Chains A and B, each alone.
Chain A
């Protein structure tokens, strides 16, 4: 099946720094990728929809200036958490849609902000 990778798998950073997370579709092209966030023992919440070559669409309550999304190619979307704070600590998961709209999930990135 299709594979989606995320990098890094785990990151620890100091408060105030920015962190970039990459999401790659390894064997298919994805014009649409999604970014989710999951707090401990909670469900996944959709943060934004990333479309190649255009601006991301953010869900209500998600700050677009805080969570910068760049979908520069058909196989790569990046999420940058700017000026991270401890409350941004979470599990971030991306997914990618193939041409027949099947959605494949990445393994997730655990962000810990100290």
Chain B
């Protein structure tokens, strides 16, 4: 079942600007993951943040997790045209089965 809800659904920015995407979920989780998907391609794993972590960095990516609000944000700093893609959050619910539930995604367009 669909759990994560990303907003915005679409985001259009200029190169060099920062892009922030948000994700909300409904149940308790083990971890939350962010993926990128270029048009018509498979998923690329970006970052995983565990339920006991609040912030994580990887290169130009910064992810926060607020379990009290059941929300996460993905910040891409100094965006590039190559960052143009759809971004999905996925939650690993506390079920023991490791199934991922994906949000609807944010389509990011970075213009040169």
- A interface, CB within 8 angstroms of B: 32, 34, 36, 41-46, 49, 59-60, 91, 93, 95, 97, 101, 103-108, 110
Contacts and interface: CB of A to CB of B under 8 A. Distances in A.
B51 to A, nearest CB: 14
Given A93-B43, A106-B42, A107-B41, A43 B105 contact: yes
Interface of B: 1-2, 35, 40-43, 45, 88, 97-105, 107
Contact of A93 (B2, B42, B105): B42
Contacts of B45: 104-105
Given A43-B88, A43-B103, A43-B104, A107 B42 contact: yes
A10 to B, nearest CB: 10
21 contacts: A34-B100, A43-B104, A44-B102, A45-B2, A45-B102, A46-B99, A46-B101, A46-B102, A49-B99, A60-B1, A93-B42, A93-B43, A95-B100, A97-B98, A101-B98, A103-B98, A105-B42, A106-B42, A107-B42, A108-B41, A110-B40
A1 to B, nearest CB: 9
